[in-house]
Structure formats: C-alpha cells, structure tokens
A and B are shown apart, each in its own frame.
Chain A
Amino acid sequence: MSGLEDFRDELETCFGTSCGFCERGCPVYQALKVKTLSMKGRNRTMLGLLQGKFDITPAVVQAAFECTLCGNCDRWCSLKNTDHTRAFREHLLKHGIEPMKEHSSLLASIRNYGNPWFQPRSARNRWTKGLNVPKVALGQRDVLFFAGCTSAVTRQLNRSLVASAKLLQKAGVRFATMGVDEPCCGSTLLRVGQTDAFKELAAENAKKFKSLGIKKIVTACPGCYATLKKTIEEFGTNIKVTHVAQEIADLTKSGKLRLKKSTERMTYHDPCHLGRLGGVFEEPREIVRAVATLVEMPNNRYEARCCGAGAGLQSAFPKLSRELAAKRIAEAKSSGATTLVTSCPFCETQLRTVPGIRVVDLFELLLDAAQENEKNEPFKSAS
C-alpha cells in the first residue's frame, strides 16, 4: 500500500487535467455541490497539503473523510482516486489527527470483539444454529464460507447467511466456516485510514487462511470480498476469493432449483465493492431475472450510485448518508420497481431506512422463490 507522497504524480496529473468528469457520478458532490468534496477537489487538497500550501484544518479532515470510497470517480478516470483518498486518511492520522470519534468506537470494537458492532465473539456463529455446517479443519474442506461481521452479528441479517449457506449446499459447494474464530476482514480499518492496524490484521488473516489449507474463500459480504481479495493479493497466498452470487448463479440455469417466477418488477442495486470495484454485475442479475422481472435503475453496473453507507460515512456523517440512501431509493422507484434487491448487508440495512420500496436480500429472494415452489414441488436435487 502506498502513502500519500507516492501518489504525488497522480495528484499532479489530476491538477494538469482538471476535467472534473469524476463529479458527475460522485454521490457526495451531487448532494452537496461543494468542490472540496469532489474527487477533483480532494486531489487538489492533497496536492496543496503536500506542497505545504496550508496546514491540516478541520476542513481538510472533512475533505478526507466525507466520502464513501465508492469508486464512482475511478470509473470516470484513469487515476487511482479511492487509493489516494485512503492514503489521505492515513496521512492525516499519521500527522497527529485523532480518528473521528465515530470511527474510534468502531476501531475499539474490532480490537475488543473482532467486529465493529460491539457484539461478543460468540454472536458470530449464531446464524449457523440448526444448520449442518462443519467448522473448518486442515485438509477437511477446500472452501471456506466467510460470513463477515455485519451479517453474522446482526440478527436481522442472519437470514441472508442462512439462505446463502443453503444455496451453496444446493449448488454442491462443500464448505466449512470458521465459526466463532472467524476474524474481521479489516475492511473498516482499511477504509478509515488505519493502515497499520489493517496490515497487521491482514497479515494475521492471511496466515490463518494458509494454515487451514483452503483453496477458496466464498464471502457473503461485498466489503469482505474486496478486502480479502486485497489481503490475498498482498500476502501472496494462492487462495481464490469469490462472492456467493458467483457460486450460485448457475443454480438458476442448471435446473437444480425449481423456481417460482413472479411478474413483479424488481431492480438490482450493485454494491460498490461487488460491482464497480469487484466486476461482478451479471450473476446477481441472472438470479433476479430467474425469479422476477428485472428493471434497471438509470445508474447501474459501473455507474451505480452508492447507498451512502460506506467507508465510515454512515457513522460520521449520518445526515448526508441518509440523503444518499434516499436518492438511491428515489432512483429505484423511478425505474418502476416495487422491490429493490441487493447483495450487501450494508446496502440492505442502509436502504431499508428509507420508506417507499421493499428492500430484499438477493439470496433470501432466491431461496424464498425456491421454497415457494417447493410447497408443491420439492427441490429437484439438493446435492
């Protein structure tokens, strides 16, 4: 990972270009129209800071942290803007800026409980109750199902994990979990600028994964997906990282599931880390198409707008975060959809705060459609 100074050439290129194409899809800029909070403006702030044109002030800190790191700016650019911003946050913390108080509590929770939500470690395995899911042991399973902190310790989100696990079983994926020993992936640390803490955690995680002899990690959370991919890349272990959607999309085509298809118009919200930053667009859509009528929002796939929950914005800037969620829901409604489907616990929780449309988890949707059908016609096969 690079420090801010390593990006100086890129910051100067942005200065030299000044095209501002990043502004069009930036959810924060479009909501507030303040240039210091657009990527072009943020790049200038970073350059000015490196040039010693001004000191670190609350406005500089705001420019660094009032961003969801959704990567929409990157889609319209060829510079690594989200990496600049991450390095910007790290730079500020290393120059004596205290973490934002809302972020400090998340960090304390990760340190003490292994998750950002102040839940005991025992809560992490709650969702597996009643399921026959083995705990990973060396040489027993090739695939590790990585539940992720948020869905595992939040009761309302447990159902999505159960659905994911059942669907994986139906898809014939032989997997295990780490149970209460599953660590935090470190996504939050990485995105709020706690790079050293992240590096330490990532190194530990890479070592753990290696010691388990697994060949693939299937994540339920897009944030874990992006972060574990980065961990695996940086620590050079030969483990593949995928998201549940990629593993089960074939179920809808292979005929292993008999699905009840409804005529309801549903739209799919691409989570930033799975879609734009992970390149997984079509598998979730195949699932929605298999059970309903898929309609697209004006901004979809690479151009999908962030739900507003990411990178610490929800905790540190709740008002703005809610505004971004409301905009995304308005977009969903404009598509004529009556249900918004997503595949990320953050997006799901965030978008549910805005009334006016049903928000459902992709995997629950698929399993429900299968079970609806099962009432009359049982699963064809359940490997």
Chain B
Amino acid sequence: MSYIEELVSALGKEKVLLDPSERFVYGTDWSPRTPDEFAPPDVVVLPRTTKDVQRIVKIAYEHDVPVTAGAGLTGMLGGAIALYGGIYVDTTTMSSIVEIDPKNQTVRVQAGATLQEVNDAVQAYDLWLPHQPESKWVSTVGAAIACDNDSTFGVRYGKILNCLLSAEIVTGTGEVVELGHRKAHFTSSGYKLKDLLAGSEGTLGIITEATLKLEPIPAVRRVDMLVFPRMGTAVDYLSKLLKAGLCLEAAHINCKQRLKFYTHSYRQKFGKDPEIPAWAEALLAIAFAGDQEVVDSQREYALKIAKEFEAQLVEEREIVDAWWASKYTLDFEPFKQKWPDSQKQKKFGAADPGIPVGRLEEFYHKFVQVATKHKLEIIGMNAYLEHPSSIGFSLSCAVFVDYRNPEEVRRFRAFHDELSKLAVAFEGTMSTFMSDTYQKAPYLEVEHGASLRYMREVKRLFDPKGILNPGKKFPREAEKK
C-alpha cells in the first residue's frame, strides 16, 4: 500500500484530504509570499487524538515521508508550510479541553485548542492563560509552543514557556512521550527537555497535549501611554520602574511611526492619524493590573517618576484605547477589522531580533537604515518586554511588503536576513517570536556556532529520519517546492 492508502485505512477517509483544492488551502501562511507562492502538501490529515497522530507519524516513518504539523497558519515566516510536500497534520482538529484543575490552577488541553478557547473555558474559574499574542483567536497552544510567539503580558508572566508545565509529543519515530513536570511549577530533576519544545517548530515532535499553568484574573487593568524624546529615555524609565518595585503587566515601546499601525480604530473613528508631539521618538505603553487601590497607587507612582524622564502622558484616551484594541481586546468596529483593512495593497513583514537592553536605540536606527537600503516602506519598530519583571526586548522591525511584486518580496527577505545577522553582531539574537523556519536555516551557524552540532544531534535523537517539518532550522538538500 502507498502511504496515502495506509493513512486512509488507519484514519478513515473523512480525516484525509486529497483533493488539489483542499491541499491548496493548507499551502501558505501569513508570511510575505506572492499570491502564486503556495506550497500545498501532498495530503492533509485531520487527527482527533494523539493515537491518530501516532498512526500518521508511524506511517510517515515507514515510508520516509515528510510530516509538517500546523494549526492556524498565521505564522509570519512560513514555519508550518510543508516545503517538501508530504503530510500536513492539521492539529486544530484536536481542540478539546482535557482537564481544568482550578485548585492547582492548571489546565490540560489538546494542542489544537486556540489560546482564546482555553481562556473561554477557564474564565468561569476566575483564571486565565496570560500568554496572549495578537493572534490569540487563531493561535493554538501547540503552535504557540512550537513557534514560541510573543505575548502582550510578557513583562509580568513571560511567554508560553513560563506557562508550560508539561507536554505530550509524538516523536519522529511515532513514540508518544511526555516531557515536563506534571503540575509542579519547576523542577531540578533531569534535563529540561520540555524547554526544547519552545520554538522547535515541530522539528522534534508533534505536540499533542499540554498542561498549562493558569493565573488569577486581575480585577482591574489600567493601560497608559507616554511619549519620550528618545528610545533610550523610555528604556531608562522602564528600568527605573522595575527598580522602584512596580509590577508592570505589559510594557511596549513603539517608535512613533509604528503607532500608526496600531491605531486603526482611531482612524476609523476620526478619519485621521493620532497627533503625537513632533519632538517625540518613542511611545511607551504600560499596563498595571490587580486590585483597584494597588493599580491606582502603582500608576500614580509611575507617572510621578515619568517627569524625571521628559515623558509626557498621552491624555487622549482614544489613542490608548485604539492601541489596546489592536494589541489585546481586538474589539474592532464590526466589518472593519484592522488586518485586512491595513494590508490591502501591501502586507506586514517583519524581522524579530532580540537586542541587549542598552543597545535598543542604536539598533532602531540601524533598522531604519537597512529598511531604507532595501527600498522598503517602514511600518516601524515595536519593542516588547517578554521576560517577567526584567527588561528583555523582543523586537518587531516591520515593513510593508508589496506581496504582488516578487522583486519586493525578495528584497524583504534580504532585509530580514541582514537584520537577523546584525542582531547577533549586536550581541543579541536573530529571533524572538517567529523562530528560524526555512528563512534563517541557512545561516543558523551565525547565531549558534559550534553548538549547532549539538542541536543537530538533539534533532537526530527525536527524529532520526529527519521527516518532521524538514527544511526548518536545518536546510535540507532536496529541492524546495
């Protein structure tokens, strides 16, 4: 039997999509690609259980066929595109909430549950999963782990790895393994294999279930925005807030230009861009959350300190609300959602480096230079704080890409690569929320040097035949689709 016949026999034909039109739908994500740059897999499978996934991988292992797991297909760098064809495993069909344990503040879910579905399920217990990317309605638990995407509330809760207690995976041989420490929050036992999953892009195993740590829902949240004359001053201010002992829930530095991309609702309402003082280079959005008195006192203290940093509070609440709608509530006017409306001609494309605290402003100017050199229209830079209670920047250096123009898509990719390598030269990292995918794979050595060999060995241990999401992290010799 061919591997496809075996899949049909093992899963049933309703879980196997073979029609060219069906496969086509699964052939692209949110990354800048031209409209004819689809890479459809040879077959799409819709598993419902871990057992289904195990059957799929075992068949793929037997037949040496690539297996790429995906979910919402909102990746911004092609991480879940089946570049070498083979089997695409749509994990969104596994979206059950397995167990809610309010007493221990944990939830066990199938990996295809979206982050929003998890929160919808646990909200009744006054708990939430604070890992919250802008794509939370579509981004699944499995994809959030495998892509290691960003979170709006990183400065208080960290990212998905800070919430992940344990995960079940199906390795490249079809073995089901649980990695982690059950409901304990941390461990000193063994190697922390679970941590390898963050940003693994499905190259070590297909995540099928996860146990996540939940947090109590804060009673009140207050979001404010301040403008600063320079990026560096905003960084110094943040440092001072943390030194003072304040507990920030969210902190994001935007360059002035980037704000426009986050104020879609404002433009819808007033028909113009918000006015920001000409002297300002950076905007800092901060949030405090908790009991009203605590929020009020922390906010008051934060605003008092701001005066020392030449900062000015944004008094027009509509600007702050518009930014927050874009970043978190997604509360857009009906029929006027931001994303398609803001990408009619050109689409969002980004590099995602991480830069040491003291070099943010310097890197920002480099970003502008590199984008200009590649003749790309600049959207701007957003620096997220993604590590609990410390300043650690995840940067989104964004440009508009005319995706109907193959030459511009090529220039975007050159921009992305140059900025990624520059980040390493700045003693930082190439990726903080999109992972490596096929894009960074050819030059991963720039970042990892000799340690790359150990990574290859780890990969080999989990996936000896290299069938899991081939071409991601490590280039594959076979020709790309």
Contacts and interface: CB of A to CB of B under 8 A. Distances in A.
Nearest to A15: B35
Interface string B110-146: 0010101000000000000000000101100000000
B22 interface: yes
B340 A24 contact: no
Given A19-B135, A78-B335, A13 B72 contact: no
Contacts of A49: 21
B339 A17 contact: yes
Contacts of A47: 35
Given A12-B404, A13-B340, A75-B334, A23 B138 contact: yes
Interface residues of A, number: 40
Contact of A45 (B25, B35, B92, B343): B25
A74 interface: yes
A129 to B, nearest CB: 42
A14 B25 CA distance: 12
Interface residues of B, number: 42
Nearest to A42: B25
B28 interface: yes
A236 interface: no
A54 B343 CA distance: 26
Interface string A10-28: 0011111111110110000
Contact of A36 (B22, B73, B93, B403): B22
A163 interface: no
Interface stretch (A57-65, A102-110, A208-216): A57-65
Main secondary structure of the interface of B (DSSP, over half): loop
Contact of B73 (A20, A24, A48): A20
Main secondary structure of the interface of A (DSSP, over half): helix
B138 A57 contact: no
A126 interface: no
A263 interface: no
Interface in A28-51: 33-36, 41, 44-45, 47-49, 51
14 contacts: A16-B35, A19-B339, A20-B73, A34-B17, A35-B92, A45-B25, A47-B35, A48-B38, A51-B35, A58-B19, A63-B21, A74-B335, A77-B337, A276-B334
Interface of A: 9, 12-21, 23-24, 33-36, 41, 44-45, 47-49, 51, 53-55, 57-60, 63, 74-79, 276, 302
Given A20-B74, A21-B339, A33-B92, 20 more contacts: A9-B344, A16-B343, A16-B403, A18-B28, A20-B137, A20-B138, A23-B138, A24-B114, A34-B93, A35-B25, A35-B90, A51-B36, A54-B21, A57-B20, A57-B21, A59-B22, A74-B334, A78-B340, A79-B340, A302-B334
Interface of B: 17, 19-22, 24-26, 28-30, 35-36, 38, 46, 72-74, 90, 92-93, 95, 112, 114, 116, 135, 137-138, 330, 334-341, 343-344, 347, 403-404
**Which 4 A-B residue pairs are closest in the complex by CB-CB distance?**
A59-B19, A54-B20, A78-B341, A20-B138
